[in-house]
Structure formats: structure tokens, C-alpha cells
């Protein structure tokens, strides 16, 4: 999957998980706080993303994930186990 396709899928995923989110206004620069997510919401979003995208977020790296682009980059750098 190319980067543009991955970005679109992650944005659609986040829009489906965040209450009152408008996918057309979400970009890779969108910060979780700007989307109305607190730390617990972010953890739940990441758990759901693991299941949806087939990745495992490393516990030490999770604290550095603060934006939509961070998730896209992480998934790009850590492809799902099934494609390895």
C-alpha cells in the first residue's frame, strides 16, 4: 500500500472512531488533542488501530505518537506481521 493510500485509510479510520470528526478536516498534521482525544481515548484509538491495521505499537514508542501522521509513519515503518 502506498503512502497516500495508507494516509487515506488512517484518516477514514480515525474519523470513524472520533465522535463528531469530519474526515475532510483531518490531515496527517492533526494532533490527537485537536481532535478532542484525551490520553485514554488515544490509548483506545491505538488499540483499535492495532486490530484494524495488523500492527503492534511498541510500548516505548506509543508515548511519541501524537498525530495522525505519527500513526501513518509508524504503520509504514512497521508493516503488519502478515506481510513480512
Domain of residue 76, residue span = 3-83
Which of 34, 43, 36, 40 has its CA nearest to residue 65?
Answer: 43
| CA of residue 2 relative to chain centroid, distance | 16
Q: What is the pLDDT of residue 84?
A: 42
CATH assignment of the domain containing 31: 1.10.1200.10
Task: Supply the residues annotated as catalytic.
Answer: 38
Q: What is the pLDDT of residue 83?
A: 46
Tens-digit pLDDT string for the chain (84 aa)? 789 999 999 999 999 999 888 999 999 999 999 999 999 999 999 999 999 999 999 888 888 999 999 999 999 998 776 544
CA 60 – CA 51 distance, rounded (Å): 19
pTM for this model (two decimals)? 0.88
Q: What is the pLDDT of residue 9?
A: 97
Number of domains into which the chain is organized? 1
Amino acid at each position: 500500500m502506498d503512502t497516500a493510500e495508507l494516509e487515506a485509510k488512517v484518516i477514514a479510520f480515525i474519523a470513524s472512531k472520533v465522535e463528531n470528526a469530519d474526515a475532510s478536516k483531518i490531515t496527517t498534521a492533526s494532533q490527537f488533542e485537536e481532535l478532542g482525544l484525551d490520553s485514554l481515548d488515544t490509548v483506545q484509538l491505538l488499540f483499535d488501530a492495532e486490530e484494524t491495521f495488523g500492527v503492534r505499537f511498541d510500548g516505548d514508542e506509543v508515548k511519541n505518537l501524537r498525530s495522525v501522521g505519527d500513526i501513518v509513519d509508524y504503520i509504514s515503518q512497521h508493516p503488519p506481521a502478515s506481510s513480512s
